[in-house]
Structures are given as structure tokens and as C-alpha cells.
Structure 1
Amino acid sequence: MRKQSFKWNIPILGGIEFFSFFGITSFWLLFLSQQGMTLWEIGILESIFHLTSLLSEVPSGILADRFTYKNNLLLGRIASIISAGLMIVSQGNFWLYALGMIFSAWGYNFDSGTSQALLFETAKEIGLENRYLKLTSLLNGILEATRTLGMVVAGFFVHGGLIYTYYIQLVLSLLSIVGIACLKEPTIKMANDNKQSSWQILQMVYRLFRQQTKLFRQMLVIQLLLTIISMYYFYYQNQLPNLKSWQISGIMLFSSIVNLLSITLSNLIGKRYQSSLILWVMLFLSGGLFLMTALQQDWLYALIFLITDGLVVLFYPIYETELQNQFVSEVRATMLSVYTMLGSLAMIFLFPLMGWLIDYFGFNQSFVGLGSLLLAMAIWMRCSKNKRNGANPKIVK
């Protein structure tokens, strides 16, 4: 009976993620551009988001490990509501947008790592810990489906109505709060005698990094590479006004299909291939695709968007599962927050830099240059592996 009650956490968590991350505001870059922000200013706003995330990720993870997962998720949705409200009332004011980005980051921080930790601990409660990759692939499938479904809907607001997407986000955040109230907290979170202080949690994280000396560096490299590939996903938005609303929604719908296929394949591929090989393929394919932006074809831009986004979606649950198996329950949310924090660190520098490059050199030239960089990285990875006489990189299983 106890296991049965915890099983409900999985579908409830799926529902919470559906409403929390419905991609209705995915075209925020285009929205800010329509409100008079330059790409350089948008890059600064995105850096504010990621600087906030960088500073808040670990504290939010500590709160999740120190207290309850449900409280963290609730704080995240409250922050999301405040952020949406600020975006609605800003009306071209840079500083109000900046404040909205800060609350948006907090909305992300309090969920980041917490939902994955809750899912892993729930799997342990019901004896499905060895099936976590399948469960997290399922959750990521829901996330990708809801993100892209939201983008499909948002596509109809692209030509002048994107502000209404933030009203929709307000309603969806309230629905998420209802779901959070229905979650059952894992046993380890309810045992008061086992709770660690914030200082003890930080000490445990430090000891884990000392014991696995290359772990931090590996996590940073992975996040840096994923961020570089993801640049296209963000800045492709500025090309969307060249298309009709139904074409935009069609691309986003097809993106949902591609991402769901990627999630399905991640569960199969992750059991058969090492993550280093998958990462190398990602770099090689993404680099080649970015070079093709030189052809300046709208249909090709869309194809590059679909494939590169699908590759990131494919890789993420595979590597995240590897990380989960290296963490202990007492610091699980904190360690996942450290991993996410490293992604924010990469975005702080790369996002405004890419915005400046596009403003100065143009969309096509900038991504041709980025494609050349990715191909060089792929070649370097292959040469480094050959020099190690075929030894497997430490970032793999």
C-alpha cells in the first residue's frame, strides 16, 4: 500500500512539469525584440537570468536537500507567477525586464534538480531505481512535448500578440501549484533525525568532488558543449518573423515529434553506447549543420533547428542518469543544482557574446564560425582519444 501511494508521484510530477514548463513563452527573445530591445540588450538580459541562476542554483538545491522537495517546487511556481507579471507590465522598460528575468531564474532554480531528485527518490521507494533512465526519459518526454506544444500555440501569437502568452503562463503556474499539493514527500525527507544542516550538505558535496576529482571538470565540459549547440535554438527565433504563423506552428509541432523520438531513442541508445561517443557525434553533426547556414535558406534553418535541438534532447537524460548514480540521497538535489549552475555559468558568457556576433557579423556568418569551432572540437576529441590508445574517457559510464 505504501509503494502504491508513492507510485502516484510519477504521474503527478509529470502533470506538474507539463503545466510548469508549457512552452508558451518560448519566444521570449522575439517578444523582447518586438518590445524594442536590441540583440545586445537581450543578451545582457539573458546573462542576468543566468547570473541569477548561477548564484541561486546551489542555495536552492541545499534548501531542497535540507527541507522538502514540495516546498522548493512551490517557491518555483510563485517566482514564475511574479516573473510573468513583470513581463506583462514592463512595456519596453529594460530594468523591469531584468527584474522579470531574475524571478524567472528563481522559478527555474527551485525546480531544477528538485524534480529529478524527487523522481529518483520516488523510484527508490517503489523499487524501480534500476529503471530510472526509463522514468527520466518519460519525464523528459513530457517536458519536450509540453515545451513544443506551447511553442505551437505561441506560434499563433508571434505577429504582435506575444504578451498574451504571459497571461497563459500565470494560469498554468496556478494549476502546477494544485499538483504540487498532491505530491507525497519521500521517506528520507520526512525523517527529521536524518536531516543534515546546510553546512553538512556543503561538506558532503565537497567530499564527493574530492573523491571524484575529475567529476566537476567533466560536468563543466558537458555543459559548455551543450550550451554552444543550444545557441542555435535561441537565436533561430529571430528568423521566425520571415515565416507565416501556420508555418511557425508547423515547425514547432514537428519539433515535438522529433524530440519525442529523441527521448525514446535515448532510453535505447543510453544502454548500448558510451556518452562520449554520443557527444562526439553531436559535435560533428551540429558543426556540419551550422556550416550549412551559409546557404541562407529558410527551410534549411528549420531543419538545423529540428536536428540540433533533438540531439541535445537525446543526450541530456543519458548523461543525467550517469550523474544520478554517482550521487548520494542526502545531497542529490544540491549536486544536480551544481551541474545546472555550470550551464548557467556557460550561458552568462556565451549568450551575450553570440548576440554581439550576430549583431555585428549577421546570423549566417556567426553560425558558420560556430560550426567551424564545433568541428574543430570534434576532431580534437577524436585525436585525444587516439592518443590515449583507445582508453575510455572518464565522462562515460
Structure 2
Amino acid sequence: MFKKSYRHNIILLGASEFFSFFGITSFWLLFLSQHGMSFGQIGILEGLFHLTSLVSEVPSGILADRYSYRTNLYLSRLMSILSCFLMLLGQGNFWIYALGMMLSAWSYNFDSGTSNAMLFESAKEAGRENKYLKFSSFVSAIGEGTRTLGAVAAGFFVHGLLDMTYIIQILFSLLAIILISMMKEPTFKEVREEPVSLASILNMVVDEFKSNPSLFHWLITSQLLCVIMCMFYFYYQNELEVLPSWQISLIMLISSAMNIGSVWLASKIGQRFKAVTLFPILVGLTGILYLLATTKLPQIYMIIYLVADGLYAFFLPIFNNDLQVMIPSDARATMLSVNAMFFSLSMIIIFPMTGFLIDWIGFSLTFLFLGIILIVISLLLILGRSYFK
């Protein structure tokens, strides 16, 4: 008979990550385009997704800190299932898609911060807190692998069968719910007589930022630049439709292997170097890659996509590990949600701005412009690195 334990939580969180975020719906932009949505409408839907996420991030984190992590994870999967149903029912109806995107944002909100907090507290309860970077890298590797493997599978559905990808996601979310039910809630939540008040949680977050303003600035700066580093990943998707299905799947498979390798490398290098030390280098390298977009060569675009995504995959576990040790347990999910909120706010600004630039000056010139910005900022980050430390 299966016995709940904190060590089992680590494995279960990895398995839940696999089923919850299997990237089978990665080609959502193509799905919407094939169902009659214009790029303008798609941009509005994506903006609505991130606006919903922005508004809901901190409240969802507070719920996790006040009540239980598992409840948030259950709600995450329920929202994902409802969102998939709406995307299937939409059939070209903008407003149904809009509601589906909102529910999809909530599915990410309820998981965002919560699963990381659950992992850290489980490692802590198991007496393996010093191994958290390895555990988080393990879960991140699964996350990177499953997102890309899902995209590999989705590549075979690109030409007229993308509806099937949402049915698969519903089934996988149901499997994730079973795994969540097998997890053990951290002791510090079970033993306290009553939940920490909402005011106390918010006060802890505010006090943390007041006592350490460089943390606040680091979160805003890192998330803003991470969004710019992700732009090629999103907009390159529109270039893929001209390729046959097997080539799309091959690209996704190579990306999966590279991202898993990046996460493994992060588990080693992250023990020696802090995120704040590595970040300016990664920003600069991504900027240099973006400059190569001026060649307008499909092969170069492919290299930019693979390497830029790998650099981002390398940074995330190191960043998350450094952040976890800086925040209190009772406000852990809330603080992580604040960080995710900064990412959503940046997406609301940068994503449509990049789209408008592509419409105005073209794909290659847009990424030339973004590349120059990243290179300049990387130099400024190197000069100001001592402040963030």
C-alpha cells in the first residue's frame, strides 16, 4: 500500500509536472489562427491571458500560504480541464476563447509558486534542504522535457488536427489530479492551530521588500529581461507552419534534449555561481543570438530558437534556488507569485509591443533591435551587479 511521505512528494511533483504541463497544446497560436482568429485577435487573447494572470497571481499565492498547497494544485488542474473544454467548444467564437484563456491563466496561477513551495518545504521536511537545487533541477528537467516532448507530439497534429491536443491535455490533467491526491502536505501547515491571516502574509512580503529593496529590483529586472529572452520562442512559432510535420517534431525533440542538458548543467554550475552573477552573461549571449536574425536564414532562425531557449532553461533552476532561500516559509507561495506577477506584467507590455514591431519593421529587424537592447543592458547589469548581491 502506498504511504505518503515527503520524499515521495519529490517524485510525485516531478510526475505531476509531466502530466500537468505536457506541451501538447504548444501550438495554441496556430490553433486559434486555424479557427479564424486574426493576429490582432490572438494578440488581444494573449494579452487577456497575462492580464488575468497579473491580477490573480498574488491572490492565488496567498490562498496557498493560508490554506493548503494541494488545494491550489487541484484547482490548477480543474481550471486547465475547463479551459480545454472551452477551446474545443469555441469553434471560432472570440468570446469563448477569451474565457478559455482566462481559465488557462488561472490554471497557471494556482500552480505558479505553489509547486515550487511544495517542493522546497518537502525537501526541508525530509531533511534534504541542502539538496533542493538538485531536486528543483530534476523537476525543471522534467518540465522542460515534457513541454518539448508534448510539442514534438503536437507537431504531428499541426495540419488540421490540433483539436485532438486539447483532448489529450484533459486526460493528462486528470492523471495529474490522481498524483496530487497522493502527496503529503508540509507539517508546518498541519501543526499550526489556524491559518496565517491574509494581512500577515502580505505584511511579510512588504517587510521583506522594505528590508531588502535590492530583492524587489532584482525580481523586476530579471523577469522583464526573461520576457525579452523568450520572445523568439513565441514568435518563431509562426514561422514553423511552412515546415512539414516531421521537421517540426524534430526541432522540438532537439530542443527537448538541449533543455534537459541545460537544466542538468544548471544543477552543477548553480552550486558554484549565483544567478545574479550568471544572468548578465546569459542576457548578453541571447542578445548576440538575436543579432543573427538579420541573416533571415531559416537555419539560423532554428539555431537562435534552440540556443536561446536552452539559455533560459539553464537560468531558471539557478534563479529559483537562490530565491527560495531568501524568503520565509509562511509567505513562500505568495512571494513566488509576486515574482510570477512581474513576469506577467512584463509580458503584457513586451509581447504586443514585439508583435507591433514585427508588423511595422519585420521579423529580422525587430530581433536586431531587441538584441541590441539586451547587449546594452547586459553591460549595465555587469556594472551594477554588486547592488543586486
Which range, TM-score by smaller chain? Answer: over 0.9
Aligned match of 2:56: 56
* Maintained 8 Å contact 1:120/1:132: yes
Q: Which range is displaced more, 192-201 or 229-238?
A: 192-201
AA partner of residue 208 (structure 1): E
* Maintained 8 Å contact 1:63/1:72: yes
Query: SS state of the match for residue 160, structure 2?
Result: coil
Q: Which range is displaced more, 274-283 or 220-229?
A: 274-283
Aligned match of 1:5: 5
Q: What is the distance in 1 between the residues matched to 2:174 and 2:310?
A: 30
Which ranges of 4 or more aligned residues in structure 1 deviate by more than 6 Å? none
Q: Once the two structures are superposed, what CA deviation does each residue of 1:186-227 show, in whole Å capped at 9, x if it has no partner? A: 101112426311111111111111111221111000000000
Q: What is the distance in 2 between the residues matched to 1:365 and 1:108?
A: 32
**Shift in alpha-carbon separation, 1:393–1:42, aligned structure 2, 3 A:** farther
Instruction: Trace 1:223-242 onto structure 2 (pairs within 5 A).
Output: 223-242=223-242
Q: What is the distance in 1 between the residues matched to 2:280 and 2:191?
A: 43
Aligned match of 1:83: 83
Aligned match of 1:262: 262
Q: Which range is displaced more, 276-285 or 47-56?
A: 276-285
AA partner of residue 184 (structure 1): K
Q: Which range is displaced more, 255-264 or 32-41?
A: 32-41
State the 1:180 CA deviation: 0.9
Instruction: Trace 1:239-388 onto structure 2 (pairs within 5 A).
Output: 239-382=239-382, 384-385=383-384
**Shift in alpha-carbon separation, 1:381–1:203, aligned structure 2, 3 A:** closer
Aligned match of 2:45: 45
Q: Which range is displaced more, 231-240 or 24-33?
A: 24-33
Structure 1's unaligned 5+ residue stretches are: 386-391
State the 1:276 CA deviation: 3.0
Query: SS state of the match for residue 92, structure 1?
Result: coil
Q: What is the distance in 1 between the residues matched to 2:21 and 2:113?
A: 14
* Maintained 8 Å contact 1:39/1:356: no
Q: What is the distance in 1 between the residues matched to 2:42 and 2:231?
A: 13
State the 1:6 CA deviation: 1.7
AA partner of residue 117 (structure 2): A
Q: What is the distance in 1 between the residues matched to 2:7 and 2:131?
A: 14
AA partner of residue 131 (structure 2): R
Q: What is the distance in 2 between the residues matched to 1:225 and 1:217?
A: 12
State the 1:360 CA deviation: 2.4
Query: SS state of the match for residue 5, structure 2?
Result: helix
Q: Once the two structures are superposed, what CA deviation does each residue of 1:218-252 show, in whole Å capped at 9, x if it has no partner? A: 10000000000101101110000121110000000
**Shift in alpha-carbon separation, 1:20–1:4, aligned structure 2, 3 A:** closer
Q: Once the two structures are superposed, what CA deviation does each residue of 1:30-80 show, in whole Å capped at 9, x if it has no partner? A: 222222223232222111111111111110000000000010000000000
Aligned match of 1:388: none
AA partner of residue 137 (structure 2): S
* Maintained 8 Å contact 1:39/1:359: no
- 1:395 is aligned to 2:388: yes
Aligned match of 2:95: 95
* Maintained 8 Å contact 2:275/2:322: no
AA partner of residue 84 (structure 1): C
Q: What is the distance in 2 between the residues matched to 1:202 and 1:330?
A: 10
**Shift in alpha-carbon separation, 1:357–1:39, aligned structure 2, 3 A:** farther
- 1:131 is aligned to 2:110: no
Aligned match of 1:217: 217
Q: What is the distance in 2 between the residues matched to 1:255 and 1:130?
A: 30
Query: SS state of the match for residue 388, structure 2?
Result: coil
Aligned length: 387
Q: What is the distance in 1 between the residues matched to 2:63 and 2:12?
A: 22
Q: What is the distance in 2 between the residues matched to 1:328 and 1:274?
A: 19
* Maintained 8 Å contact 2:274/2:322: no
Q: Which range is displaced more, 38-47 or 331-340?
A: 38-47
**Shift in alpha-carbon separation, 1:4–1:106, aligned structure 2, 3 A:** closer
Q: What is the distance in 1 between the residues matched to 2:228 and 2:154?
A: 25
Q: Which range is displaced more, 204-213 or 255-264?
A: 204-213
